[in-house]
Amino acid sequence: MLKILLIDDEKGTRKLLSISLRNEGYDVITADNGKSGLELFRQESPSIVLTDIKMPGMDGTDVLKKIKQIDPDTEVIILTGYGDMEKAVKSIQLDASDFISKPVNRNVLSGALRRAEAKLKVKQTLKHYTLNLEKAVKEKTTALEKSHEEMKAICDITYSLDGKKYLAEAFDLIIERIKDIFLFEEAVPLIFNKAKDEFIKINGYRCPQAENKKELISSINSIDYPIDIAELSAMGYDWLKRFENYKSLSVVPISRNNDIAGGVILLASDANVFSKDDLGFFYLMLSQVACDIRRIALNEERLKGLDDKVKMFSGFGGIIGKDYKMRQIYNLILDIAPTGATVLIQGESGSGKELVARAVHLHSHRKDNCFVVVNCSAYPHTLIESELFGHEKGAFTGAAHKRIGRFELADEGTLFLDEIGEIPLMSQVKLLRFLQFQKLERLGGTETIGVNVRIIAATNKDLQKEVEKGNFREDLYYRLNVIPINIPPLRVRRNDISLLVEYFIEKLNAQGNKKVKGISSEAMKLLVDYRWPGNVRELENIIEHSFILAKDEYITKQNFPHNILFNVDNIDKEKKISSFQENEKRFLTKVLEEYQWNKSQAAKKLNISRGTLYAKLRKYNLNYVDKERLL
C-alpha cells in the first residue's frame, strides 16, 4: 500500500480527497500547510505527495523544492486553481510529476496517480539495477585486485626462493608475502626428507609431536588437494588433537607432477576462515615453488649429514674444535643438558654461541621438540614483546589477527634468546616474570597460558657491567646466569683453525657448484697468524670468499680478501718490534749482570749516558731482584 501525503489549506478539499484516495486503496496522511507537511514528510517518508500550489506561508512550489532536496525520487503532484497556471508550469520544470486543476476530477486524479506510480517503479528498477551493477563492478574490481596481488606474490616468491639455502628462510619469505592476502594465525610447514619417512625440522616453526608423527606423515603423503578440518575429522586422524584449540584448520599440499614435497597446515581461531579461493591460490603458489622447496630441503639434509660426519671426528654437537678449552665446554654441556636449568652463554660475536645452545638442546630430553631462536636485537623495542609473548587480534594498530608468540611455539622445547642484552627494561620485567612462573598472557589478552620451555640466553656484552650501568635488571641477570658458559674467542684456540677450514670447504663442496680439494700451507699459515676479531663467523666468510675466487684445486693467499693480508703484515711488523725489544731487554740484563748491576760501569760499556740507561731500566721495569727471572 502506497503512502500519500496530502497538503492543502482548505479543510473541505482535504477531507473529500482523503476519502477518495482511501477508497482507491492508498494510505493517506494530511497536513494543512507547507511547514507541517514537510515535518510529516520527514517522519513518514511517503512515496507520493499531493500539494496545493497556493497556500499561506510556504506555497506549493517551495514545498516541491524542499521535498526534492530531501528525496529526489519522491513523486509530487501539484493541485492548482484558476489563474495559477504559470506556477504550475514552473513546478513541472522543477521536476513535479504532474499538475491537476481544481476542482479535482476523480478520473483525472486517478490517471495522475497511475502515472506517478509507473515513474516510481521505473526509478526503483533503475536504482536496483544500478546498485547491482555497482556491486558487481566492485566485486569484480576487488577480485581482479586480489588476483593481481596473488600473481605478484607468486612471481616474487618464485624469483626470491632461488637464492635461499634454508627452509626457515624460504617459509619466512612465503608467509610474510601471503599474510596480507588472506588471514591465518599460524602456519605449520611440514617438509619431507629424501626418504619421505621423516619431517625436516624448520627453525622457528612448530614441530610435530613424536606420538602422532607416523600418522601425520602418512596423511600428508596421501593428500593431493587442499583439505579442511571437516574432511580430516571424518578420517579420524589423532594428530588433529594437537590443534584442537583452532576452529579453522586446512592442509595444503606442496606437490608438482605428482611428486609431493610436504604440506602446510593453516590455523585460525574463528570458524570458516579459509575460503576455497584462498586455499586454491595458496595451493597454486606452493605448486609453483615445490621444486625449489624440495631442492632446499635436500640440500639442508645433505648439510646436516655433513654436520653429523664432522661431529664424529672433530667436534661436539655441531661445534668444531678439539682445543682443551673447547673440550671443557663439551664436558659442561653433557653435565647441564639433562637438567632444565637456565643457561647464559657469553662470548664475542661470531664465536659460536648459537651452536653451543643447540648442543645443549640436542643432548637434553627435549631434543625431539622445537629449538626456537629469537634474535632480540633484530626487533624494534615496540615489537619484541609481541614476538615473544604473541598478541590477540586488535591488541594494537596493525594487529589484524592473533599471533602465537615464540614462547608458545617452543612449548616442550628450548627457546634461545640471542643478544639478550638488547631487550629493553620494560620487556625485561615480563621476561623475569615468565622465568619465575613459566606462564604468560598474550598482548591484548586476559587468558593466562602455561608453557614448559627451557631458556638459553646469549650475549656478547658484559651483563654485570650492564647491570652496573642500569641497562639490565640485576634480578633478571641472576635468573639467567644459573649456568654460565664462556666461549673462548678463535684467537686463543688457533689449533682448531685447520679443522674449521676443512669443514667449511667440505660444506661448500657439498653445494655442488664447484670442487676445491683444500688450502695451501702458505695460506693456512696466514689464517693461523690472523687475529680473528670476527671469530668463527669471519673465518667462514673468508673461506667462502676464497672458495668462490679460487681458480685451481687449492685456495691460495691470493684468493684472500685484502684486509687479511694487510692485517697479517701488521702482525709481522709487531712481532719484529716485539722481538727487538725483547732482545734489547735481555742484552741490558746480561751487561748489568756482568758488572754486578753497577750502573755506571754498565753505561760506560754500552757507550750511553747513565740517564739513558735509567730510562731503559724504567721502560723494561728492570731491577736487581728480577735478574734471576730475566736470565
Calculate mean pLDDT across residues 252-270.
89
| The pLDDT value given to residue 88 | 73
pLDDT digits (tens, 9 = 90+) for 22-62: 988 899 999 999 899 999 999 998 999 999 888 888 888 88
Contact between 192 and 158 under an 8 Å Cβ cutoff? The reply is no
Residues above pLDDT 90, as percent of the chain: 33
Buried b (16+ CB within 10 A) or exposed e, 510-521: eeeeeebeebee
SS3 of 482, please?
A: coil
Domain map (residue ranges) of the chain: 3-125, 164-306, 317-488, 491-560, 567-630
**Which range among 115-129, 313-327, 420-434 shows the weakest confidence by mean pLDDT?**
313-327
pTM of this prediction exceeds 0.85: no
Calculate mean pLDDT across residues 612-618.
84
Give DSSP secondary structure letters for 40-85.
HHHHH--SEEEEES--SSS-HHHHHHHHHHH-TT-EEEEEE-TT-H
| The pLDDT value given to residue 630 | 34
pLDDT confidence tier of residue 626, bands split at 50, 70 and 90: very low
SS3 of 268, please?
A: strand
pLDDT confidence tier of residue 464, bands split at 50, 70 and 90: very high
Angle between helices 521-529 and 497-510 (to 10 degrees): 120
Contact between 250 and 218 under an 8 Å Cβ cutoff? The reply is no
Nearest by Cα to 306 from 22, 453, 503, 566: 503
| The pLDDT value given to residue 265 | 92
Calculate mean pLDDT across residues 409-418.
94
**Per-chain mean pLDDT for the chain:** 85
> Is the per-residue pLDDT at 597 higher than 60?
yes
CATH 3.30.1380 fits 567-630, yes or no: no
CATH 3.40.50.300 fits 317-488, yes or no: yes
Element (H, E) at 476: helix 474-480
pLDDT confidence tier of residue 153, bands split at 50, 70 and 90: low
> Is the per-residue pLDDT at 367 higher than 80?
yes
pLDDT digits (tens, 9 = 90+) for 193-223: 988 888 988 888 887 766 678 888 888 888 8
CA–CA dist 551, 462 (Å, integer): 43
Q: Do domains 3-125 and 317-488 have the same CATH topology?
A: yes
| The pLDDT value given to residue 148 | 62
| The pLDDT value given to residue 135 | 80
Residue 609: how many CB atoms within 10 A of its CB? Answer: 11
Calculate mean pLDDT across residues 572-597.
69
Cell numbers given for 391: 598478541
Calculate mean pLDDT across residues 528-555.
91
* Count, residues in the chain: 631
| The pLDDT value given to residue 304 | 74
CATH topology of domain 491-560: Helicase, Ruva Protein; domain 3 (1.10.8)
pLDDT confidence tier of residue 136, bands split at 50, 70 and 90: confident
- Tell me which CATH homologous superfamily contains domain 3-125: Response regulator (3.40.50.2300)
SS3 of 552, please?
A: coil
pLDDT confidence tier of residue 577, bands split at 50, 70 and 90: very low
Buried b (16+ CB within 10 A) or exposed e, 575-593: eeeeeeeeeebeebbebbe
Element (H, E) at 391: strand 390-391
Contact between 418 and 458 under an 8 Å Cβ cutoff? The reply is yes
- Tell me which CATH homologous superfamily contains domain 164-306: GAF domain (3.30.450.40)
> Is the per-residue pLDDT at 473 higher than 90?
yes
Calculate mean pLDDT across residues 138-151.
66
Give DSSP secondary structure letters for 339-382.
S---EEEE--TTS-HHHHHHHHHHTSTTTTS-EEEEEGGGS-TT
CB neighbour list of residue 381: distance below 8 Å, 6 or more residues apart: 424, 427
pLDDT digits (tens, 9 = 90+) for 287-314: 888 888 998 898 888 777 766 655 544 4
pLDDT digits (tens, 9 = 90+) for 54-87: 888 888 888 999 998 999 889 999 888 755 677 7
The number of C-alpha atoms within 13 Å of 279 and in the hemisphere containing its C-beta is 22
Cell numbers given for 478: 641472576
pLDDT digits (tens, 9 = 90+) for 93-124: 888 888 888 888 888 888 889 888 888 888 88
Cell numbers given for 557: 693467499
CA–CA dist 321, 301 (Å, integer): 22
CB neighbour list of residue 79: distance below 8 Å, 6 or more residues apart: 8, 13, 50, 51, 52, 53, 60, 99, 100, 102, 104
> Is the per-residue pLDDT at 579 higher than 60?
no
